[in-house]
A and B are shown apart, each in its own frame.
Chain A
Amino acid sequence: MDWSEERSMIWNLFKIEGMKLKRITWITPILSGLLLLIVTIGEWYLFFREGEGGVYASFNALYLFVSISFLLTGNLLITMVVGTEHESKGWKQFLAAPLSKSHLYMVKLAWVVALILVQGFVFIIGWALIWHVYTTDPLPFLFLLKQVFYCIIATLPVLIIQFYLSIAFENQAIPITIGVLGAIASLFLARSQVNWLHYLPWSYPGLVTPFLPNHIHWLQISLGISTILLLFTNWLFYNKNWN
């Protein structure tokens, strides 16, 4: 099979997976993006506004919430995308169809990432609009993009772990609990003085902020670990028994 044929199959599968999504799965990232916007601006308004940073201190407020927001939304989206398949008993039907197992795995995961990107875009557009309404100070747009998209990239290792757990456990309470605990832990891990803790995937989203000088290092680690986890969970998925 040549690459262009394979590419059209993957695209076809992506569209098919898109047909399965419930409306709530589209609404969730939009609401999450708006919620992050409201919480960040609220925090800035209440605690940062009077400080020396002025409007730019809003980025400090953003840093407090951005990781946990993407981690929790990711967790929720995974449960929805994977849960639809458990609910419908769709795995056995889909895996008995002439589809590559690894394509199926990657495409479902790609949908989760795409939906998180929706959240990212909603947030950025909202932020930029409010900024221009509220102030004439220049918006550090590149900084904003980096803060948001680096953070999304850094959540990938956790998302992949969560994604596989959601598939492996039919009862979604288990992966949800793990996801919520992980998201809460992420608040402390990145700020921890214990250095080796930074190597846990739950730390990465807090470490890739452009505030920190070595954030590119953590971005690279996130990408590296994501690749390894992707190959490993893909292999697990390939060999999984569907009872």
Chain B
Amino acid sequence: MMNNIIETHDLCCQFNRIKSVDKINIQIPEGAIYGFLGPNGAGKTTTLKMLLGLLNPSSGSIKIFGEKMPTNRISILREIGSLIESPSFYGHLSGYKNLKIFASIYGLPNSAIEDVLNIVELTPHANRPVKHYSFGMKQRLGIAIALIHKPKLLILDEPTNGLDPAGIQQIRDLIKRLPTLYNTTVLISSHLLSEVEQIATHVGIIHGGKMLFQDAFDVLRKQQTSYLIIDLEDPSKAYQSMQKTGWDITVNHTAISIRLDTPGQKTKIFECLKNFNIINVKEKHRSLEDIFLDWTGVKKEV
């Protein structure tokens, strides 16, 4: 087994008898960018708060860097940077002062503040009070606070929420750079598949407090499939004649639908159907988005 930075075992969290997080087993390998994907209310924030020791799990266990949380809370947290939900900042203080507070906690020199201000491109605004910052600037300050000590693990809860496309792009590029920049493993939550798809190497899909899927992102990509939907005069007869092929076929009273698994499959299908009256042929692609929506039970709006 390779080194997992985070490992949870049957992690649960309960609010007033309702399980918000139900037996979650997260495994995040070192150097991964792990996309923690789920719709609103899935239990993402709750899970991340348990990882940081902000919420007490009702059962289950957490290991981070191979150490137990919350038993070794302080030594674990020393290597973690986090941004949960909205950014925290003291509005009456400047961006610089806000960072100074966190630099002092980690015992960092002022140069660390200047470095991280540069990274999030807030240097020109460093001396303004944060309450006068725009939404995006506050969000970037939140990320700067999370990054100031060059953590081994970065936990970001929907960090691009409410940002404009340029801001989203900027943060996405930054996150992508982190594993090589600081050797950081990243855990990032999102309710948008498209966002996770662009940066994640690994993915966990959570819904209703349960983990539905967890693996390398490429494994999820392989779940994308195409179907050939063929309208026929006599679909059930065609279905019977093709049963021995071993293909994944479904049938209704107007059409058969065949899953396309191999490249040359289409030719073979048409070969098989040469004695039937084909009315129409359609190819339907089941994208990652479709898979995600199927799993999380939210139907796509037409």
Contacts and interface: CB of A to CB of B under 8 A. Distances in A.
Interface residues of A, number: 25
B88 A92 contact: yes
B281 to A, nearest CB: 54
A243 B82 CA distance: 15
Contacts of A98: 74-75, 77-78, 105-106
B74 A88 contact: no
A194 interface: no
A89 B84 CA distance: 10
Contact of B77 (A13, A16, A96): A96
Contacts, number: 73
A15 B103 CA distance: 12
B247 interface: no
Contact of B54 (A15, A87, A90, A92): A92
Given A89-B88, A96-B84, A99-B74, A16 B105 contact: yes
Interface in B72-110: 74-75, 77-78, 80, 82, 84-93, 97, 100-102, 104-107
A22 interface: yes
A69 interface: no
Interface string B50-87: 00111110000000000000000011011010101111
Contacts of A93: 82, 84, 88, 145
A94 B87 CA distance: 12
A92 B56 CA distance: 13
Among B53, B54, B86, B91, find the residue whose CB has the most chain A CB atoms closer than 10 A. Answer: B54
Given A88-B88, A98-B105, A19 B77 contact: no
Contacts of B56: 239, 241
B55 A241 contact: yes
Interface string A133-158: 00000000000000000000000000
Interface in A1-29: 12-13, 15-16, 19-20, 22
Contacts of B104: 12, 15-16, 19
B54 A97 contact: no
A20 B105 CA distance: 13
Nearest to A12: B104
B49 interface: yes
A220 interface: no
Given A19-B93, A89-B86, A96-B80, A242 B49 contact: yes
A100 B74 contact: yes
Given A16-B105, A19-B100, A20-B101, A96 B53 contact: yes
7 contacts: A20-B90, A89-B87, A92-B84, A93-B145, A98-B75, A99-B105, A242-B54
